[in-house]
Amino acid sequence: MKSGNLGYPRIGGNREWKKALEAYWAGKLDEAALHAELKAIRLGNLQRQREKGIDVIPVGDFTYYDHVLDTTAMLGLIPDRFGHTGGEPGLDVYYAVARGSKEAAASEMTKWFNTNYHYIVPELNEAAEPRLTRNRPLEAYREAKDELGIEGRPVLVGLFTYLKLAKGYAPDQLTGWIDRLLPLYAQVLRELQAEGVRWVQLDEPILTTTLSEEELAQVHRIYAYLTLEAPGIQLLVQTYFEAVDAYEAVVGLPVHGIGLDFVHDGGANRAALRKHGFPADKVLGAGVIDGRGIWRADLARQSALLTELGEQVAPERILVQPSNSLLHVPVRAAGEQRLDATLREALAFAEEKLEELALLARIGREGAAAVAGELAAAERAREALQQSPSRRREPVQRMTAELVAQPASRAGDVQTRRAAQEARWQLPLLPTTTIGSFPQTPEVRSARLKWRKGEWDDARYEAFVQEQIREWIDIQAELGLDVYVHGEFERTDMVEFFGEKLGGFAFTAGGWVQSYGSRCVKPPIIYGDVEFLAPMTVAETVYAQSLTDAPVKGMLTGPVTILNWSFVRDDLTREQVAYQIALALRQEVEALEAAGIGMIQVDEPALREGLPLKRDKWAAYLEWAVKAFRLSTCTVRNETQIHTHMCYSEFQDIIDAISALDADVISIETSRSHGELISSFEDGTYDKGIGLGVYDIHSPRVPAVSEMTGMIERALRVLAPEQFWINPDCGLKTRKREETVEALRNMVTATRQLRERYAAKTPSR
């Protein structure tokens, strides 16, 4: 029994990867220096996996931005608007696809299955001429072998997953695209075979979604062709994030190994293997260590699982793996000395998970007695956290149970609330606002760091934050926005900020994970019962409101997003934890309303990413997710307007759930998806206020007024002007001041042009 890995965090132990990319984009690092710095990180990652005892090490999982974009570039499928004329795209084109340029909008970015990682969506054009521009897996294999003597296992995004995640073609064109790209995949494999590569890992997480018989037949055709074209290579088809529905079809693929997730499968993969067995001529990649969570594994339990698997599969054909790539967890927990020792000892980040994999493989070879001490230490650490007072807060548990038993409904219906809110606010047609945050300049970050280090006292830091708030209230007034925000200058992250003020959360010093591109987040750890301690946002919001007669929105992060963007304790269900967060947020909403704040935005950008991959599980998730949001917001008066925001996901198929949130106004990203979401509202059944983001804040380009008016007019074909709001597609924290002001000015100008045009056609508000 051997240990294997599926992928490793790219960002480096101290986010060296992020810093190198951003230095290059800022012109502070030339291309040669960028290549050198990223190579050092890449080789360091491989060396670390070897040092931790991993037998099978993946190569080719490293990227300069995103692994799906790497596949697009490798296949020569750069969209025409970037002016690429053929051959391997240079870094300027590569990053333009990801981030946009002055000449061209970036490609769409969306969630990687049900994670908080974002990939760049491939755009397929029938006129495109796919070609292999560069054999990236081969280069990665050669580098690992030549530089470190590591016989790595190259990793590719599987062809079927790549095509199912792409856009730009009709369903009946899928076969044609397979036929066009399959020879290129075969060419990659033939060149790897000529190099002497033994195994190749093809990631096909799409196989854990529900596929038709026709689609499964296409998958079989793909792998029959690849096996025939490169008979000297052994192929591992790797699935993850859920169980495979069509177990017999998947394990029957004409390949040499199948990787299955035994952590997030709900027991279904295990049950299918017991019922149907496993092919005697294949290797089983057994995903038994959680690649998405940060807790120590129950090694005795997972060892027993491996023993059970060994009754169906010869132990020498079992590869002990994480459930998925370790891309989704931080690099190392060992350095988190600021954490309480009981909590720290219960953590396992990427490095610690490698150790767990190696330990389980050793148990499979030598027996548990050989590592009895390590097993006992792991169990003591897990049990110590479970018995800690933080997980036994009786008042929280009692109040949460009482909350869940209550109705989660506003006092008035939509029409009653709309009338009360229009009477209170008297907003113009097509009201303008922003999503919440304004640029976090180096001065803002420096001030926060000085305060955290104790170089500034609370009074000085508060004065600085108020100065920033005052400046941006003035800017919003000068721009002519209708509804203001305070700018969130006191917040590092929309989840971390709240977690730091609630009981039951802990924060790491270096627990960073990649979200998109160079954007890294440091998810809080929900380790105990969540408890409201004191108002969290009232002071800054009330101060901002004191500076203007325009309404200022209170800004909160919703319970489901706090849940989905945190590492969550594993002794309660996610539903139970969501209700605890909802209880705390309800108290904050009530505190804002009591302080005179009449517009409150409770953001849920992560609502959709929590959806199970299986559609038959959606209803149960959406029921409790919607309930958690409503429990947070339902006690306010009719005239208090509840807003929410969602970004970068495909919302078309959960519009009913979005409506069920019962927010008075919702803003949804639509700029990067080029307005495609607008079609979801063509049936005219959505009856609440809505803002479909009119420009992309993740790109440094400033859209022209005409571009924004076109986006707004497209929306107004299916939405009534009186229900439509105008806003960017997301918060502006990552943008620079100058581009922010210019883009918002264009947004207001576009709005005023259309306001004049539609005012005569629309009844008075």
pLDDT at 760: 65
pLDDT at 647: 72
86 CB burial (10 A radius; 0-12, 13-18, 19+): exposed
> How confident is the model over 514-526, as a mean pLDDT?
94
Going by the annotation, the residues of the binding site for L-homocysteine are: 435-437, 488, 603
Dihedral sign for Cα atoms in the order 476, 481, 482, 483:
negative
Going by the annotation, the residues of the binding site are: 15-18, 111, 116, 435-437, 488, 519-520, 565, 603, 609, 645, 647, 669, 730
Task: Count H helices and E strands in the chain, helices first.
Answer: 26, 21
Give all domains of the chain, ordered by start, each with its CATH number: 56-238 (3.20.20.210), 415-490+539-559+583-759 (3.20.20.210)
- Whether the per-residue pLDDT at 480 is higher than 80: the answer is yes
d(CA 244, CA 257): 15
pLDDT at 161: 98
pLDDT at 719: 85
Q: What angle do CA 470, 474, 479 make, to 5 degrees?
A: 150
- Whether the per-residue pLDDT at 409 is higher than 60: the answer is yes
Chain centroid to CA 299: how far?
28
CB distance 665 to 643 below 8 Å: yes
pLDDT at 637: 97
d(CA 75, CA 687): 44
d(CA 583, CA 678): 33
| Neighbouring residues of 709: CB distance < 8 A, sequence distance ≥ 6 | 750, 753, 754
pLDDT at 703: 85
CB distance 87 to 585 below 8 Å: no
Q: Name the nearest CA neighbour of 17 among 734, 512, 567.
A: 512
Mapped onto helix, strand or coil, the DSSP state of residue 742 is helix
- Whether the per-residue pLDDT at 721 is higher than 60: the answer is yes
CB distance 531 to 396 below 8 Å: yes
> How confident is the model over 545-567, as a mean pLDDT?
97
- pLDDT tens-digit series, residues 332-349: 999 899 999 999 999 999
Going by the annotation, the residues of the binding site for L-methionine are: 435-437, 488, 603
Region class of 756: left (phi > 0), else alpha (psi between -120 and 50), else beta: alpha
pLDDT band at residue 549 using 50, 70 and 90 as cut-offs: very high
Q: To the nearest whole percent, how much of the chain has pLDDT over 70?
A: 96
> How confident is the model over 597-604, as a mean pLDDT?
97
pLDDT at 735: 87
CB distance 602 to 589 below 8 Å: yes
Q: Are strands 153-157 and 118-120 parallel, antiparallel or unpaired?
A: unpaired
CB distance 681 to 666 below 8 Å: no
- Whether the per-residue pLDDT at 624 is higher than 80: the answer is yes
pLDDT band at residue 762 using 50, 70 and 90 as cut-offs: low
> How confident is the model over 629-645, as a mean pLDDT?
97
- Whether the per-residue pLDDT at 328 is higher than 90: the answer is yes
d(CA 517, CA 519): 5
Q: Which residue has the higher pLDDT, 765 or 377?
A: 377
pLDDT band at residue 729 using 50, 70 and 90 as cut-offs: confident
The token pair that represents 612 in the structure block: 């199970």
> How confident is the model over 148-156, as a mean pLDDT?
98
Q: Are strands 118-120 and 109-111 parallel, antiparallel or unpaired?
A: antiparallel
Average pLDDT, the chain: 93
pLDDT at 668: 84
Report the range of poorest mean pLDDT among 237-246, 600-609, 654-663, 687-696: 687-696
- Whether the per-residue pLDDT at 37 is higher than 80: the answer is yes
pLDDT at 682: 64
Going by the annotation, the residues of the binding site for 5-methyltetrahydropteroyltri-L-glutamate are: 15-18, 111, 116, 519-520, 565, 609
- Whether the per-residue pLDDT at 672 is higher than 60: the answer is no
- Whether the per-residue pLDDT at 761 is higher than 80: the answer is no
| Neighbouring residues of 489: CB distance < 8 A, sequence distance ≥ 6 | 438, 440, 444, 465, 468, 469
Report the range of poorest mean pLDDT among 125-134, 178-187, 362-371, 667-676: 667-676
- pLDDT tens-digit series, residues 70-116: 999 999 999 999 998 888 899 999 999 999 998 898 999 988 998 98
Catalytic residues: 698
- Whether the per-residue pLDDT at 218 is higher than 60: the answer is yes
Its pTM stands at 0.89
Going by the annotation, the residues of the binding site for Zn(2+) are: 645, 647, 669, 730
- pLDDT tens-digit series, residues 9-19: 999 999 999 99
| Neighbouring residues of 391: CB distance < 8 A, sequence distance ≥ 6 | 385, 527, 528, 529, 569, 571
Q: To the nearest whole percent, how much of the chain has pLDDT over 90?
A: 83
pLDDT band at residue 648 using 50, 70 and 90 as cut-offs: low
pLDDT at 673: 54
- Whether the per-residue pLDDT at 535 is higher than 90: the answer is yes
